[in-house]
Amino acid sequence: MLLLAGAGHFLSPAFLLGFFPDWVPYPTFWIYLSGMAELILGIGLLWPRWRRAAAGLSSLMFLVYLPLHIRDLVIETPVVGSEMAAWVRLPIQFVLIAWAWYVFHRTAPTAPSAE
């Protein structure tokens, strides 16, 4: 999911501009940066050695995104398309936070290699 979402930041950055309030400087920069973060974390979740770190950072990232999704509920035209879609999307954000936190805690820390 993170790989697809990350790619979406690069394929359709204009769609994501609506998530940012006018006072946020350089929203396109943040869209590309968060897309890169999602791609890196998505790749990290695939490798056992990096899974724990990627899951913990994913949980934090999803938490940072939370205000943007809450904002989507209160603006006149939600970015996700409709008020109903915004209401459905918000609980999904909580599920993603909990899932990433669960994976973080269920994944054993990896010992540093002797290389």
pLDDT tens per residue, range 8-59: 999 999 999 988 888 999 999 999 999 999 999 999 999 999 999 999 999 9
pLDDT of residue 94: 95
What is the extent of the structural domain holding 58? 2-106
pLDDT for residue 114 is more than 60: no
With respect to residue 95, please indicate whether it lies within any of the assigned structural domains: yes
- Number of domains observed in the structure of the chain: 1
Q: What's the mean pLDDT in 97-107?
A: 94
With respect to residue 114, please indicate whether it lies within any of the assigned structural domains: no
pLDDT of residue 112: 60
With respect to residue 111, please indicate whether it lies within any of the assigned structural domains: no
With respect to residue 112, please indicate whether it lies within any of the assigned structural domains: no
Rounded to whole angstroms, how far apart are CA atoms 96 and 14? Answer: 24
pLDDT for residue 109 is more than 70: yes
With respect to residue 30, please indicate whether it lies within any of the assigned structural domains: yes
With respect to residue 55, please indicate whether it lies within any of the assigned structural domains: yes
Rounded to whole angstroms, how far apart are CA atoms 39 and 35? Answer: 6
With respect to residue 115, please indicate whether it lies within any of the assigned structural domains: no
With respect to residue 42, please indicate whether it lies within any of the assigned structural domains: yes
Question: Residue 67, by phi and psi: left (phi above 0), alpha (psi -120 to 50) or beta?
Answer: alpha
pLDDT of residue 113: 59
